[in-house]
Amino acid sequence: MIKELKAGFEKVFGGGEGARTYFAPGRVNLIGEHTDYNGGHVFPCALTIGTYAVARKREDKLVRLYSENFKELGIIEFDVEELKNVKEHDWANYPKGVIWAFKQEGFNIDGGFEALFFGNIPNGAGLSSSASIELATAVILKDIFNVEADMIKMVQLGKLAENKFIGVNCGIMDQFAIGMGKEGHAVLLDTNTLKFTYAKIELKNAAIIIANTNKRRGLADSKYNERRAQCEEALKDLQGEINISALGELNEEAFEKYSHLIKDRINVRRARHAVYENQRTIKAVKALEQNDIETFGQLMNDSHESLRDDYEVTGIELDTLAELAWQQPGVIGSRMTGAGFGGCTVSIVKNESIDGFIENVGRAYEEKIGYKADFYVVNIGDGARKLDLL
């Protein structure tokens, strides 16, 4: 694939020396949803699918970007000194935002470059194609401009780009999982402190299956920011009486004791999800450490129900996929993953049941929803990096 992308790069931008190749994965969160901006724990892993890029430094200040996924948009061009979010620039606002974030941090991005991108993550599916593009751009900038930044700093700058340049008030999970991913492991991340540990994923006779609803959703257009504001309001109410800086600092018992302080009844439900989901995530990782995959699966199911009932971010498509999954033989657990409002479910399915799972859930989903879902059996891979040149 790298040879094909380099040939594509030469076709779009012309021949010459100096083109280098990069990769940033997509991610799936196994459990711990909408906890990352609430100071809780998340448990994502990087995938072996993601965003590839071929890039080369220019002698002027022009940045020229091309995506194999959006060929109809052609080359998108802008000056490195004029970085504004322009609607017509579409996907290219993500790399542009990362350049802006690096410059905000004081890094000397003093010239232009040209880059060809290709992603094999389904767009808008909830596997974090936007954060994948951001971290691919970050490793490009670090390499070709000799930026002295470690991966955690680049993760933080990717989040800054998403928050302040794109305008999506996301937490740090997506960028962190993509930047810090490790083959065969998920990352237990405390989003309040950025302390993290790797946990080996040993499913033995089972596999991770992503099911894409094929309902397109854009985070910036969704109710994501509204949910975050509701949690912030709940936190402010609680802080009137208790000394906490994030909902993730509470356990279930403390939440039940103090939830009466939250004035809005809807916000009680939003905060309850944030608190209980954080505790579920901690319990799920402990279960995994004890090889108790059944408890892990049950906690996945409980997570989906909380996201459906308390957080209200699922919708008929995700609920249909999860509920159909729960009915299938060999399913250990299934839940929506990502922000919701469309996107994907993640399921752990015993190997001997995979074909039947895909056939049965796929057929029933299409009958109910009216269009097909797509299924991917995925592997856990390493984080964003420069690739060896071929």
Sheet holding 206-212, edge to edge: 331-337, 344-350, 206-212, 374-378
Task: State yes or no: pLDDT of 390 exceeds 50.
Answer: no
Which residues have a catalytic role annotated?
174
What is the model's pTM? 0.90
Proportion of the chain above pLDDT 90, given as a percent: 88
Q: What is the DSSP letter of 282?
A: H
pLDDT band of residue 229 (cuts 50, 70, 90) is: very high
- Residue 372: count of CB within 10 angstroms of its CB: 13
CATH number of 2-199+381-386, picked from 3.30.230.10, 3.40.50.970, 3.30.300.30, 3.30.70.260: 3.30.230.10
Task: State yes or no: pLDDT of 389 exceeds 60.
Answer: no
pLDDT at 54 (0 to 100)? 97
Proportion of the chain above pLDDT 70, given as a percent: 96
Domain locations in the chain? 2-199+381-386
Give per-residue pLDDT as tens, 245-280.
Answer: 999 999 999 999 999 999 999 999 999 999 999 999
Strand partners, 57: 113
**Exposure string over 159-183, b if 16+ CB within 10 A, otherwise e:** bbbbbebbebbbbbbbbbbbbbbbe
Question: How many helical (H) and strand (E) elements, i.e. helices and strands, does the chain have?
Answer: 11, 13
Higher pLDDT, 15 or 370: 370
Do strands 62-67 and 113-119 pair parallel, antiparallel, or not at all (unpaired)? parallel
What lies within 8 Å, CB to CB, of 310 at 6+ separation is 269, 270, 272, 273, 276
Strand partners, 239: none
Contact 34, 9 (CB under 8 A): no
Task: For the chain, list the strands marked E by DSSP.
Answer: 20-29, 41-42, 44-57, 62-67, 76-79, 113-119, 185-190, 195-200, 206-212, 331-337, 344-350, 374-378, 385-386
What tokens were used for 123? 């767009």
Q: Could you tell me how far CA 259 lies from the centroid of its own chain?
A: 30
Give per-residue pLDDT as tens, 134-161.
Answer: 999 999 999 999 999 999 999 999 999 9
Rounded Cα distance between 242 and 34, Å, is 22
pLDDT, mean over the chain: 94
Amino acid at 116: L
CA–CA distance from 272 to each of 247, 250, 256 (Å)? 9, 10, 9
Give per-residue pLDDT as tens, 84-111.
Answer: 999 999 999 999 999 999 999 999 999 9
Q: Could you tell me how far CA 272 lies from the centroid of its own chain?
A: 23
pLDDT at 168 (0 to 100)? 86
What tokens were used for 20? 């280098």
